[in-house]
């Protein structure tokens, strides 16, 4: 029942070392790759690369044009210069069902698997033969253990596995996109300074387990065609909502102003090469409009969600690095706003273009979170 891929939640087994691993994020508009070296305390950014995808090749995490996406993955691996072939991929959260189970302590792994399968089948909307299931023990208490089970349709898992193999890679881990993003964001938060001892002001952000009353962090993952707002406290996702606004709107503005095709305008935007005579006006209008949409989404979250304030707003995705966006969000919301940099504190490898990192880093949150799986115990 469990996939041949070390699926969904599996961690490296003790004693197996930390073999090289690629984190590959399959987005709706691009494939992004990250490889990390070093160790968990002092990671090294060995390489990163991006390859654009045409609209419609991947929709809502579903691969629609298998051959085209396979070629894009081959190209991004070649562009990166890596020799590593072991890869971690992810499924969107909408394709994965997770469930916490309480089971007796002292069971063997085989017995745990049987118990998890029996418990999961009572709650899953598809037949056991159509399911890929995995689990991990996340806690223990008196007389029992807490197990986190994750399941997805087998065809979704096999699509990712087949894609990696067709591109010449060895798929060894399948994660959940939201888990990967959260992992990278938690590392960003850990690098932020706390307030001075004795201060009555809370730290600007808290992702660690600091109590139920701790305000969460607001994370905006700004994609090409949609943006997701998540309110995160520790390991808990308190609120999530998508809205149909993203970086592609800025690309269309550039294309219309300069008479370019969408792909050419997208590359110009990502390269920071929009002509000086048009960039300021286009950027200012887009940044202001996007910031107002995001601030409105946060207000809706306060109205309908579980809290009325956040410690900090963090912006992720390639569009997050647009000059002025974080400042404008801070002005509109009153909350400290930061651009998420998943590579903060990492030493760059020889193949990394350091000058491009500030502009490109926010788009690699998920790919970095996948690459960080290399260092999990």
Helix 248-258 crosses helix 262-270 at what angle (to 10 degrees)? 110
CATH number of the structural domain 1-95+154-191+344-377? 3.30.420.40
According to the model, what pLDDT value does residue 180 have? 92
**Spatial separation of the C-alpha atoms in residues 99 and 120, rounded to whole Å:** 8
Give the pLDDT means over successive 10-residue stretches in the chain (377 positions): 45 54 94 95 94 89 95 97 96 85 82 80 73 79 80 90 96 91 83 46 36 75 90 80 90 90 83 82 90 94 86 90 92 92 93 90 94 87
CATH topology of domain 196-340: Nucleotidyltransferase; domain 5 (3.30.420)
DSSP string, 214-268: S--EEEEEE-SS-EEEEEEETTEEEEEEEES--THHHHHHHHHHHT--HHHHHHH
Nearest-CA neighbor of 134 among 106, 154, 108?
A: 154
According to the model, what pLDDT value does residue 213 have? 61
According to the model, what pLDDT value does residue 188 have? 81
For 78-184, strand residue ranges (E) read 86-91, 96-104, 131-141, 144-153, 170-176
- Identify the DSSP state of 94: G
Nearest-CA neighbor of 83 among 20, 41, 154, 165?
A: 20
According to the model, what pLDDT value does residue 198 have? 35
According to the model, what pLDDT value does residue 268 have? 84
**Spatial separation of the C-alpha atoms in residues 80 and 87, rounded to whole Å:** 14
DSSP string, 14-35: TTS-----EEEEE-SSEEEEEE
Which pTM does this prediction carry?
Answer: 0.81
Fold match flag (1-95+154-191+344-377 vs 96-153): no
How big is the CA angle at 340 (ends 375 and 87), to the nearest 5 degrees?
Answer: 35
According to the model, what pLDDT value does residue 192 have? 61
Cα dist from 304 to 43, 205, 301, 312, whole Å: 39, 22, 5, 19
Domain ranges for the chain:
1-95+154-191+344-377, 96-153, 196-340
State the number of CA atoms in the 13 A half-sphere of 138 facing the CB.
15
**Spatial separation of the C-alpha atoms in residues 71 and 155, rounded to whole Å:** 20
Q: What does DSSP say about strands 86-91 and 22-26: parallel, antiparallel, or unpaired?
A: parallel
CATH topology of domain 96-153: Dna Ligase; domain 1 (3.30.1490)
Q: Which strand (E) or helix (H) includes residue 63?
A: strand 62-63
Instruction: Confirm if 230 and 219 have CB atoms less than 8 A apart.
Output: yes
According to the model, what pLDDT value does residue 94 have? 85
């Amino acid at each position: 029942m469990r996939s041949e891929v070390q699926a969904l939640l599996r961690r490296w087994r003790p004693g197996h070392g930390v073999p090289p691993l690629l984190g590959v994020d399959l987005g709706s508009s691009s494939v992004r790759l990250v490889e990390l070296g070093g160790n968990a305390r002092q990671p090294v950014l060995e390489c990163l690369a991006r390859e654009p995808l045409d609209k419609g090749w991947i929709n809502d995490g579903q691969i629609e044009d298998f051959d085209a996406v396979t070629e894009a993955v081959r190209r991004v691996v070649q562009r990166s210069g890596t020799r590593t072939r072991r890869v971690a991929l992810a499924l969107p959260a909408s394709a994965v069902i997770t469930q916490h189970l309480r089971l007796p302590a002292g069971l063997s792994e085989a017995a745990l698997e049987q118990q998890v399968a029996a418990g999961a089948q009572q709650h899953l909307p598809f037949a056991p033969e159509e399911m890929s299931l995995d689990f991990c023990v996340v806690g223990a208490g008196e007389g029992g253990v807490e197990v986190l089970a994750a399941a997805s349709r087998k065809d979704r898992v096999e699509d990712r596995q087949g894609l990696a193999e067709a591109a010449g890679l060895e798929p060894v881990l399948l994660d959940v996109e939201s888990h990967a993003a959260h992992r990278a964001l938690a590392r960003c938060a850990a690098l932020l300074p706390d307030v001075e001892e004795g201060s009555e002001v809370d730290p600007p952000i808290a992702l660690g387990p600091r109590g139920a009353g701790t305000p969460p962090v607001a994370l905006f993952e700004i994609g090409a065609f949609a943006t997701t707002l998540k309110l995160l406290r520790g390991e808990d996702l308190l609120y999530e909502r998508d809205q149909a606004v993203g970086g592609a709107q800025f690309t269309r503005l550039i294309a219309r102003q300069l008479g370019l095709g969408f792909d050419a305008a997208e590359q110009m935007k990502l390269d920071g090469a929009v002509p000086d005579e048009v960039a300021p006006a286009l950027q200012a209008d887009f940044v202001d409009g996007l910031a107002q949409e995001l601030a409105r989404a946060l207000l809706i979250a306060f109205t309908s969600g579980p809290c009325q304030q956040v410690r900090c707003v963090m912006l992720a995705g390639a569009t997050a690095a647009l000059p002025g966006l974080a400042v404008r969000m801070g002005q509109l919301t009153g909350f400290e706003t930061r651009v998420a940099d998943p590579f903060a504190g990492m030493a760059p490898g020889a193949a990394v273009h350091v000058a491009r990192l500030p502009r490109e880093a926010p788009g690699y949150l998920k790919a970095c979170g996948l690459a960080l799986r290399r260092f999990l115990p």
